[in-house]
């Protein structure tokens, strides 16, 4: 990993310079980078001073500013971390949510070159018309408007030149820094930072593959094929590749503009849009288990007839059927004020059968119910409930599903949009029927028959395979090839103490031998001598004295005689 980082040494130096600029030189010093890297012949890593105007900015704001200057990979990482309230402070989350991808568009010539390379034909042959300027630019791609040979208006999303190489270089450096942080920074002990970077690498590499986003859009469209309240952009696979995504051009109105009088005159009703938007998100969560994880205002367009269209399907979340049912149980448990039911559901949701102090967990759940359930249903914030639930899960050292926090962010975002459009917006009123329907479906005869069928199938497989597996185990036992693994917990301190005792005993034996040997040499009168005393004996006694005082000092320092 270190050798691969040397290939990007200039980028490494640029990253370090930015981190020092924003006041994180002390952290870099703790990572002992000089021990692991040399910054070119005759050059070394020198920590500079942070400018006074930057030092005056709050710590978390400087983190956000540094990420913005570090570029697209780090901005994306910050955006991902803004969903992890289980790992980072709320003050930092507030700053990370401000991260902006303000990047200039790349040239139209580069865009046309990439399209030609990806689709094996020139832009003039592929499109009847191609906009010379981009209509949107982000850190990974930009969008141009075009017209297909059949006359369809499309939006062509084109990946930035060499962005994949830039991101790969940054990922290598991030992984190296994460490894050093895990080794040298105590602050990272509670976070598996290496695993976090590896998970981010997996996510962003998927985002770089536009074929995956195209598949997400088609799956999303299939889920809503009979719903007239939503429009999903059509993907033109024949004009798409891993770095080019061609889809239907969406006009309509920005969701933030529909409260304006000139827009409302076209029949757009903000209250209807707010209601439909939440219903669509809830349907994605409770019915499909496949939801748009970033429904911020810039990703929502409103078409004539109050039809809603989501844009940018690069970040999608998933919930299994079991997790959806658990979520419904939690929501109904809050409304019915049943902390015992919620506690059991949380343990099931996190895959744990028990915790160290169940009563304390139930007490925290009761406190959550007091906060959310005793007000009016209108004031109940679903996103707030899920976020608070995540805090409780982390506080008790439990681990929620991977997309649990994406879900919380999506709900908080769409509730915020809804309240902007409709001051009387009631999120809980919309969510209650979805949760109750999911719970009732669990008890339907069709579902019970299906569950019984799956259980019977698994039982038949177990009965069928048991004789062969039992025979295999007996054969291994006969041949002496069976290995039984025991895991001892809590023995490490005892083993460490045992090692210390053994080392001291060996040290004492060597010391005693040295004293006895030196005494015998003195008595034998072996030359050379100093004042009629053999020199070898004197050296032996001095060595024994030094070793003895060293052992005594070690025992006294640890406070154990």
Query: Which DSSP letter does residue 235 get?
Result: B
Whether residue 456 lies inside any domain: the answer is: no
Judge whether residue 190 has pLDDT over 80.
Answer: no
* pLDDT tens for each residue of 385-407: 777 777 777 777 777 777 777 78
Q: Are residues 78 and 221 in the same domain?
A: no
**Torsional sign, CA 459, 464, 466, 469:** negative
CA 356 to CA 395: how far, in whole Å? 12
246 forms beta bridges with: 156
Q: Kindly report the number of other CB atoms within 10 A of residue 15's CB atom.
A: 21
- More confidently predicted of 421 and 434: 421
CA 196 to CA 194: how far, in whole Å? 5
Q: How far is CA 85 from CA 90, 189, 390, 415, in A?
A: 7, 17, 7, 18
Across the range 479-484, mean pLDDT stands at: 69
Whether residue 485 lies inside any domain: the answer is: no
Across the range 294-317, mean pLDDT stands at: 89
Considering 193, 215, 240, which residue would you say is the last residue of a domain? 193
Predicted confidence at residue 49, as pLDDT, reads 57
Q: How confident is the model at residue 1 (pLDDT cuts 50, 70, 90)?
A: very low
Q: Are residues 62 and 112 in the same domain?
A: no
291 forms beta bridges with: 317
Whether residue 92 lies inside any domain: the answer is: yes
- Candidates 281, 282, 253; CA nearest to 268 is 253
- Candidates 470, 310, 319; CA nearest to 401 is 319
Across the range 159-166, mean pLDDT stands at: 92
Q: Kindly report the number of other CB atoms within 10 A of residue 126's CB atom.
A: 21
* pLDDT tens for each residue of 244-285: 999 999 988 988 888 887 788 888 899 999 889 889 998 998
User: Distance from first CA to last CA of the chain, Å, rounded?
Assistant: 46
Whether residue 487 lies inside any domain: the answer is: no
HEC string of 79-121 equals HHHCCCCCCCCHHHHHHHCCCCCCCCCCCHHHHHHHHHHHHCC
The tally of domains found in the chain comes to: 4
Reduce the DSSP state of residue 4 to 3 states and report it: helix
Name the burial class of residue 443, with classes exposed (0-12), middle (13-18) and buried (19+) by CB atoms within 10 angstroms of its CB: exposed
Q: What is the residue range of 371's domain?
A: 254-443
- More confidently predicted of 478 and 319: 319
Q: Are residues 158 and 227 in the same domain?
A: yes
Judge whether residue 4 has pLDDT over 90.
Answer: no
Judge whether residue 198 has pLDDT over 80.
Answer: yes
17 Cβ contact partners less than 8 Å away, ≥ 6 residues apart? 48
Predicted confidence at residue 356, as pLDDT, reads 67
Q: Are residues 107 and 245 in the same domain?
A: yes
* pLDDT tens for each residue of 199-240: 889 888 988 999 999 999 999 999 999 999 999 999 999 999
Judge whether residue 336 has pLDDT over 70.
Answer: yes
**Torsional sign, CA 360, 364, 370, 372:** negative
Q: Are residues 280 and 239 in the same domain?
A: no
Q: Are residues 273 and 396 in the same domain?
A: yes
Whether residue 458 lies inside any domain: the answer is: no
Judge whether residue 489 has pLDDT over 60.
Answer: no
Q: Are residues 203 and 273 in the same domain?
A: no
- List, by residue number, the catalytic residues: 294
* pLDDT tens for each residue of 516-549: 777 777 677 677 777 677 777 777 777 777 777 7
Pairing mode, if any, of strands 253-254 and 244-248? unpaired
* pLDDT tens for each residue of 442-463: 666 766 676 666 667 767 777 7
Reduce the DSSP state of residue 447 to 3 states and report it: helix
Whether residue 53 lies inside any domain: the answer is: yes
- Token pair belonging to 382: 């679903």
Q: Are residues 393 and 435 in the same domain?
A: yes
């Amino acid at each position: 990993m270190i050798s691969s980082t040397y290939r990007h040494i200039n980028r490494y130096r640029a990253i370090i310079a930015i981190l020092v600029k924003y006041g994180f030189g002390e952290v870099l010093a703790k990572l002992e980078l000089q021990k692991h890297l040399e910054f070119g012949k005759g050059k070394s890593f020198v920590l500079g001073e942070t400018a006074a105007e930057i030092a005056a900015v709050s710590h978390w704001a400087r983190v956000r500013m540094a990420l913005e200057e570090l570029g697209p990979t780090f901005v994306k990482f910050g955006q991902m971390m803004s969903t992890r309230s289980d790992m980072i402070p709320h003050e930092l989350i507030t700053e990370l949510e401000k991260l902006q991808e303000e990047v200039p568009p790349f040239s139209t010539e580069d865009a046309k070159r990439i399209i030609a390379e990806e689709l094996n034909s020139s832009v003039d042959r592929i499109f009847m018309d191609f906009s010379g300027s981009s209509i949107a630019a982000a850190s990974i791609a930009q969008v141009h408007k075009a017209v297909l040979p059949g006359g369809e208006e499309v939006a062509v999303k084109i990946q930035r030149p060499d962005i994949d190489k830039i991101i790969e270089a940054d990922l290598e450096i991030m992984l190296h820094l994460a490894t050093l942080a895990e080794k040298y920074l105590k602050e990272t002990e509670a976070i598996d930072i290496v695993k976090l970077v590896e998970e981010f690498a997996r996510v962003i590499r998927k985002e770089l593959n536009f074929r995956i986003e195209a598949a997400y859009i088609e799956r999303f469209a299939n889920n809503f094929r009979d719903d007239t309240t939503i429009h999903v952009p059509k993907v033109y696979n024949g004009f798409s590749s891993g770095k080019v995504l061609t889809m239907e051009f969406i006009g309509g109105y920005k969701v933030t503009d529909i409260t304006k009088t000139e827009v409302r005159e076209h029949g757009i009703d903000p209250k209807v849009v707010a209601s439909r938007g939440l219903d669509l998100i809830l349907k994605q969560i409770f019915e499909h288990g496949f939801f748009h994880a970033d429904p911020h205002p810039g990703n929502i367009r409103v078409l004539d007839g109050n039809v809603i269209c989501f844009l940018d399907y690069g970040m999608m979340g998933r919930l299994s059927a079991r997790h959806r049912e658990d979520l419904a149980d939690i929501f109904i448990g809050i409304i019915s004020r049943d902390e015992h039911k919620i506690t059991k559901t949380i343990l099931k949701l996190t895959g744990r059968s028990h915790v160290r102090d169940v009563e304390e967990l139930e007490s925290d759940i009761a406190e959550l119910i007091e906060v959310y359930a005793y007000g009016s249903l209108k004031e109940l914030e679903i996103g707030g409930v899920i976020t608070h639930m995540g805090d409780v899960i982390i506080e008790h050292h439990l681990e929620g599903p991977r997309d649990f926090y994406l879900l919380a962010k999506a709900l908080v975002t769409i509730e915020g949009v809804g309240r902007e459009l409709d001051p009387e917006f009631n999120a809980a009123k919309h969510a209650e029927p979805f949760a109750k329907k999911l719970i009732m479906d669990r008890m339907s005869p069709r579902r019970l028959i299906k569950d019984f069928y799956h259980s019977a199938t698994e039982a038949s497989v177990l009965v069928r395979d048991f004789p062969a597996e039992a025979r295999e185990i007996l054969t291994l036992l006969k041949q002496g090839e069976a290995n039984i693994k025991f895991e001892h917990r809590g023995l490490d301190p005892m083993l460490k103490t045992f090692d210390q005792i053994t080392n001291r005993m060996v040290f004492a034996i060597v010391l005693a031998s040295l004293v006895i040997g030196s005494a015998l040499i003195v008595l034998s009168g072996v030359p050379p001598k100093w004042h009629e005393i053999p020199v070898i004996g004197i050296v032996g006694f001095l060595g024994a004295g030094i070793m003895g005082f060293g052992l005594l000092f070690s025992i006294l320092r640890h406070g154990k005689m």
